[in-house]
Amino acid sequence: MSTRRPVRHATTARRTPTPALLELVAGRFRALGEPARLGILHALEHGPLSVTALVERTGLGQANLSKHLQQLHAAGFVSRSRRGMFVDYALADADVLRLCELMCGRLDDDLAATQAVMAPQRRSA
């Protein structure tokens, strides 16, 4: 349910945003503003994983990981589902990766620009 793509309400769009709305949006960006959580999302890129599996791939402590997963879930970036004794987490939708790719694209550009300034004539360094 919720294809996420065609929907577009007027809720958050095109108006002077209230402080409460800004806080909501900011909270979601903040959820991505942590290397550990980005690592989790990256680990989920190729399919759902249980908490235990995520502990291995990310190297995070179990408790710590669990807390990060709660935050990602609260922000709507991952979905939760039980499988026997395990709990599988998965990327909620493709927009998550879109956000990261957009951000990475910006980073690439800026890094390239910085390099160009720092060493204009060198090939790579």
Partner DNA sequence: TGGCGGTATAACCATATCGGCATACGGTTA
Partner DNA sequence: TAACCGTATGCCGATATGGTTATACCGCCA
63 binds, among DNA, its own copies, none (CB under 5 to 8 A by kind): DNA
Tokens of 96: 């998550």
What gap in Å lies between CA 90 and CA 81, rounded to an integer?
9
Q: Is 52 in the site for DNA (CB under 7 A)?
A: yes
| Cβ atoms of 68 and 37 closer than 8 Å | yes
9/67 Cα distance (integer angstroms): 31
Q: How far apart are CA 113 and CA 92, in angstroms?
A: 34
CB of 116 to DNA, least distance (A): 24
Residue 97 contact among DNA, its own copies, none, beta carbon within 5 to 8 Å by kind: none
The residues binding its own copies (CB under 8 A) are 1-2, 4, 7-9, 11-13, 16-17, 19, 22-35, 37-39, 42, 76, 93, 95, 98-100, 102-113
Question: What 8-state DSSP symbol labels residue 82?
Answer: E
Residues that bind DNA (CB under 7 A): 30, 34-37, 50-52, 55, 60-64, 66-71, 80, 84-87
